[in-house]
Amino acid sequence: MSITKLLGIEYPILQGAMAQIALAELAAAVSNAGGLGIIASGGFSAERLREEIHKCRSLTDRPFGVNLMLMAPNRDELAQLVVDEGVKVVTTGAGSPKNYIQMWQAAGIIVIPVVPSVQIARKMAALGVDAIVAEGTEAGGHVGETTTMALIPQVADAVTIPVIAAGGIADGRGMAAAFALGAQGVQVGTRFLATVECPAHERFKQAVVAAQDGDTLVTGRSLGVPVRSIKNKMTLEYMKLERENADKDELELLAMGSLRKAVLEGDTENGSVMAGQIAGLVREITTVREVITSMFAEAKYAGREVSRLTGEAQQQTV
């Protein structure tokens, strides 16, 4: 079944679950524009997540999802909450949802884990999940090592369920490329940061707009939690401490609360401005609807270009 039919949406575009940012407001805007909005629960208590779900329902009649960050200490409670609240779609990140799949599927929830590798994609498919988001290392936040370009076709060959591509996709060319690689949909995060509806601090959005292709880096490898964000005072200090083999406590102290600092206070030097490598392509702040409709129109054009170029190649060989 197609992703759009499975999820009851118009365009095969999912909004990435960006902790502290992907709240009801952004998720509802994406769903109202025909994509699938997703509420990020990372860092939320059960009460706060319940509030966001209720708020999202008040802002849209369309389907939306909730993401569970599986490193969260309260994951069991949040996993039960999505059932109690009748959430239709759950995506997961940063771990395996195996303990919850039975309960979610019994409740009729569509389960879509986000994975960074073929091996983990296979493991998730074997658990009977409905689809998979394969996320390349270009993405912002917690990432794996494989690029989207290499990951998508390998995951598409490894599983029979629909694959949604993520990491480095911010326009219709990226979307068409993802389709060519075997994905049936895309998940977009960074591009939605630079939208009118995105509730992040204005300075956070401007940091994304100002970033060039080489302006992100990955910290946290020494702790086994690699996280991509925009280079700044905090991440450069973090890298330095990692090179000096600083202990875990010192690193965690530096990172603690850093996402909130950037998102809520707009402290883009001492906070964590998680964003993907495609930030360099994001040059202005637009509406969510403009992002979705322009991506789709561009993808159609890019698809025609692929046909034209492959058609020409054929003509040359005869």
Answer for which of 21, 27, 30, 69 binds ligand TUI (CB under 6 A) is 69
Task: Count CA within 13 A, CB hemisphere, residue 195.
Answer: 25
Residues 6+ positions from 249 with CB-CB distance below 8 Å:
none
Answer for which of 144, 199, 266, 303 binds ligand TUI (CB under 6 A) is 144
Contact 121, 144 (CB under 8 A): no
Q: With respect to ligand TUI, which residue has the nearer C-beta, 62 or 201?
A: 201
95 touching ligand TUI, by CB under 6 A: yes
Closest residue to ligand TUI, judged by C-beta, is 141
114 touching ligand TUI, by CB under 6 A: yes
Q: Looking at 114-122, 193-201, 281-289, 294-302, which segment touches ligand TUI (CB under 6 A)?
A: 114-122
| Residue type at 188 in one-letter notation | V
260 touching ligand TUI, by CB under 6 A: no
303 touching ligand TUI, by CB under 6 A: no
Answer for which of 12, 35, 37, 93 binds ligand TUI (CB under 6 A) is 93
Q: With respect to ligand TUI, which residue has the nearer C-beta, 159 or 302?
A: 159
122, burial (CB in 10 Å: exposed 0-12, middle 13-18, buried 19+): middle
- Count residues binding ligand TUI (CB under 6 A): 21
38 touching ligand TUI, by CB under 6 A: no
Answer for which of 210, 225, 239, 306 binds ligand TUI (CB under 6 A) is 225
* Beta strands in 108-219, from DSSP E residues, in sequence order: 110-115, 132-135, 141-142, 163-166, 185-188, 216-219
Q: How far apart are CA 285 and CA 195, in angstroms?
A: 5
Q: How far apart are CA 260 and CA 129, in angstroms?
A: 32
Q: Looking at 73-81, 109-117, 207-215, 295-303, which segment touches ligand TUI (CB under 6 A)?
A: 109-117
141 touching ligand TUI, by CB under 6 A: yes
Strand partners of residue 132: 163
Contact 82, 68 (CB under 8 A): yes
Distance from the Cα of residue 283 to its chain's centroid: 19
Binding site for ligand TUI (CB under 6 A): 19, 42, 69, 71, 93-96, 114-116, 120, 123, 135, 141-144, 225, 227, 274
